[in-house]
Structure 1
Amino acid sequence: MKVFLVAGEPSGDALGAALMAGLRAEAPQVQFLGVGGAGMAAEGLESLFPMHELSVMGLAEVLPRYRALRRRMILTADAAIAAAPDVVVTIDSPDFGLRVARRVRAARPTQRTVHYVAPSVWAWRPGRAARMAQVVDHVLALLPFEPPLMQAAGMTCDFVGHPIAAVPQPDAADIAAFRAAHGLGGADIVLALPGSRRGEVARMGPVFGATLGRVLAARPDLRVVVPTVPTVATEVRAMAVSWPGAPVVVEAGPTPPSQVRAAFSSGRAALAASGTVSLDLAAAGVPMVIGWDAHPITRFVLSRLVRLDTVTLVNLVSETRAVPEYLGRACAPDGLAPALLALLHDGPARTGQTEAMAATMQRLGRGGTPPGIRAARSILASLDR
């Protein structure tokens, strides 16, 4: 069995790695080709090119790199066409992955295609599902409310659980070792997570630094820890030097329990850019404040397309609005700092988030079959159909 995989961001690489392990467990003779990052490489994928070349988000950010991204899309699609795999699996990054699927399907009309991570049609651009159905046969959904939306558009779809629900959390010994290694003692820790893309870090970094300045002025006993990923670690380290509180920057490592997981579990509260990191924090039980802004052009477009009153997955999955958000022009220290300070002591804000995070993890599949196995079985069943 031959599987062609396409991932474009660190979160997609993690999904792809778990899927590859699941497919190998269910179909030991499987062969992998395509594009991925370090996690997928560890599972045996030799990427066509470095995945970080695709990690870009937002209209204004994509436009300057459009020609380079298009060349990579054509290269990827043509490699899939030449490989003639049993299935092409595009993972998240729909703007890139679905263009690959469209080009592949045009050349090989009977090619089976799967997209992993349903696009957020419940939030914006609902017509994407119908367009996706033209080139995708089957969808693997991370959120329990997504399958009916995909099925209504003409695709089969299974909820396979979210991988964060299956990630082992550090124990007390791991947390103690992390604190000792970084000289953190017993201090309360604030986590700062400015994003996983270079443009995002450049925009959010100054706002987060100013917010931390206000928080530390009120609570000088706090320590600041900045978990990050390899793709932006250099930028984050350079930026954190100018932040108050002598932040400790920790980078995701290849083996569990990673420094980042231990950092999450050590946190009292977190200031985070909008994204899937909200689920990482929920898995560790760390209350959070979400801040996010974009290039003015991207902000303008999104303000007219987004259909929901929240973008945070913890709020959506738990069906609450427990996590405070400061988006667009509201993403400023005046709002972020008081919200973060409110989470540092026991009270209604902290209790509400704790309950919402527990509900989120339960609904995403904590305690069930690992998502990588569920995703692999779903793909194999779709091929049998």
Structure 2
Amino acid sequence: MPSISQKGRNMPESPIRKLVPYAEKAEAKGKSIYYLNIGQPDIKTPEVALKAVKENNIEVLSYSRSEGSDTYRKKIADYYAYHNIKVSHTDIIVTTGASEAISFIFGSIMDPDDEVIICEPFYANYIAFATANSIKVRPIISSIEDNFALPSIAEFEKLISSRTKAIMICNPGNPTGYLYSKEEIEQLADIAKRHDLFLISDEVYREFTYDGHSHYSILELEGLDEHTIVIDSVSKRYSMCGARIGCLVTRNETIRYTVLKFAQARLSPPTYAQIASEAALSTPQSYFEDVKKEYIERRDTLISELQQIEGIKIGIPKGAFYCIVELPVKNADHFARWLLESFSIDNETVMVAPAEGFYSTKGIGTNQIRIAYVLNKQDLIKAVNIIKEALKVYKD
């Protein structure tokens, strides 16, 4: 038979979704599963967003502009203004999810074999988008020992070569929940400017910061307009993962012009989803205050329960709704599959994401999992108890 591409062979499986067949088999046997593997919030989508679609009287569902509708982009600019970030609607290109924004950016600023430096562990799909665009990720390992803080700038300097085009961060971080400080952002900005690199920041979890910490965007940096690109999305902010609406924001006109060519090639982002996303921008601030309070309580519950398990290490999240946990096992991937195939309590089990897939350095993270605390507190307690009891009987 004809062969597939080398790129196709190199494309990694998703650590978040690859165990779905095991979960489906477990459910077919009558097991109930606590899904801790995926960042799908159980928070209700704002009613104003759903209502905008339900009550719309569109007669012809037409294309929108390739860069997204003017009215929606103007309201996104107003959203940023509320957060003391001044951008024009022309600085914004609406995409089909943050995923498309990342792919467009990689395609616009890098050629095959160019390099992007990313602190690992990082969102697993970054490596997939890099593979799809034939570019290389140069990882810098951050450690659970210091809660995944920014590695030293000297470590970044070691990796910069003539093929380096960008440094990329996720702030707050997926999968670690780490929140970069203003000082850390300024350090990255300095190195980007000195080496004439792009600084890309995935800021889809901006609203979710804890313990009195606040989010500092790279768009707040002065003198870096030609270097900075922000990735954003409605998925987590408004619990609208299925809308598949994101955007990229940059004041660099050349990048916008180039990205727009990619956007024109896929025609336009989905019209109904833009209508819902535009309406979501009128969600009152009280919604976020309530959601943030809920996530703080869930995080504290999760950490408290995990700390009762002997032999584990926990990265304490300062933002987002993920946490990395190091288990007293050799192979967390095998443990995660075993949970679904062979273990349950009262016919209930747990699905987690093996963290090895969030690293590009081979052999790192093999005994770690990522937990998304998107379940209610009672379910989190039950889920952690299942993990606790499973570790007592599991054999590597």
Smaller-chain TM-score bracket: 0.3 to 0.5
Q: Which has the higher contact order (CA 8 A, sep 6+)?
A: 2
Task: With the length of structure 1 as denominator, give the TM-score of the two structures.
Answer: 0.33
